[in-house]
Amino acid sequence: MSDRVALPSLSLPKQRTHWSVFVVIAASVLFLIMCGALYLVLQRQQAQEEAYAKRQSDRATEIKMETEKVKAETEHATAEAKRKEAEAAAAAATAAAQKKAAAAAAEDEAAKAARRKGAKKGGGGKVAKGVAPAAAPGAPAAATPAKPTTKASKDIDDLLKSFK
């Protein structure tokens, strides 16, 4: 048993690989190239979708900010208009009060002048309340007696004037 046995060599000199093995290897390489290309296409498409979603969210945020800005400007303009309206109403009320005060002062002056004139003529110095004194022939006609002015009636008058 000490003899060595020589095994035959399996590589034959003119034996080549079968053509179907080359086809399988070529198909595998082609399949790997196609998978790589598909992976790259999917990656690019996903990146484009993410960029589109980001642009849309940025645009939505921009529109929301513009809307809030317009809303704030509208509220500011409304508040400014209300403030100006209130100032105008206050100015009208003070002008009306000054006009009433001037009319009352003019009426008092006319009444005093009529009393003095009546006292000089001897017709009596008293004038009945609520009765307009007689006007002098050359003087303009006296205004009708003013309504009693109280704070409530002034407020009502101002309110009615604001409706006009």
pLDDT digits (tens, 9 = 90+) for 17-76: 889 999 999 999 999 999 999 999 999 999 999 999 999 999 999 999 999 999 999 999
Q: How far is CA 26 from the centre of its chain?
A: 69
Position 71 scores a pLDDT of 94
Give me the domain span that covers residue 61: 48-117
Q: Is the pLDDT of residue 138 over 60?
A: no
Whether residue 104 is contained in a domain is answered as yes
Q: Is the pLDDT of residue 140 over 90?
A: no
Whether residue 128 is contained in a domain is answered as no
CB 147 within 8 A of CB 140: no
pLDDT (average), residues 129-152? 57
pTM for this prediction: 0.39
Whether residue 99 is contained in a domain is answered as yes
Position 8 scores a pLDDT of 72
pLDDT bucket at 139, cuts 50 / 70 / 90: low
Whether residue 61 is contained in a domain is answered as yes
Q: What is the number of structural domains in the chain?
A: 1
Task: Quickly tell me which residue has 């999917």 as its tokens.
Answer: 42
Which residues are CB-neighbours of 100 under 8 A, at least 6 positions away? 146, 149, 154
Whether residue 70 is contained in a domain is answered as yes
Whether residue 107 is contained in a domain is answered as yes
Q: What is the pLDDT of residues 84-100, one digit of tens each?
A: 999 999 999 999 999 99
Whether residue 101 is contained in a domain is answered as yes
Whether residue 130 is contained in a domain is answered as no
